[in-house]
Amino acid sequence: MANTAVSTALAAAVFAGGCFWCVEAVFEELDGVQDAVSGYAGGSPETANYEAVCSGTTGHAESVKILYDPKKITFRKLLEVHFATHDPTSLNRQGNDVGTQYRSTIFYANEEEKKIAQDYIAELNNKHVYDKPIVTTLEPLKAFYPAETYHQNYVCQNPNQGYVRAVALPKVDKVRHKFADDLKEKSPLEKK
């Protein structure tokens, strides 16, 4: 008898848009996202650590690797969520987080992702969705380095921490309202 189990191939996308705690928390809310991992992209393996990246001199951006089921959610939808939950017109900063490590970037894995991102940015610009030009960069993904363990699932682990309450949770609320039809049945932030 043939094995009828179907394995679902997951895809990965790597985005940067400020503090990785916030970006990770936003994407964890979405149905079809199996995991979101905080980490670093854009620099070398030798400097892929929080202390070095905080210097703003490593080329890394605080990034999130999103593992998702493309049968449930598309790369385009991930882009829509990303652009709706951070300021893509702010160069090398998000709020009080300042430096190249907080830049808005799509780290594309292939030409198809690059084209989808280029087309979406052009669409946003043509519709004048933002008052200022989008400064999000498109950079080829050379490598992604997971961040230290204490950064993973930070918002879920520390929902009452000051920065989380002031910055991350409002972004989660935004995705819950704007993308209500795309959410998991139960938020990862809900107590088990």
Please give the Cα distance from 77 to 162 (Å, whole number).
30
Q: Is 19 among the residues known to form the active site?
A: yes
| 41 three-state secondary structure | strand
- The single residue of 19, 22, 54, 156 carrying the catalytic annotation is 19
* Rounded CA Rg of the chain: 16
Between the CA of residue 151 and those of 24, 29, 64, 75, 95, what are the distances in Å? Answer: 10, 17, 11, 24, 20
Query: What torsion, rounded to 10 degrees, do the Cα atoms 123, 128, 133, 136 define?
Result: -40
Residues 39 and 58: their CA atoms lie apart, in Å, by 13
Q: Which residues are catalytic?
A: 19
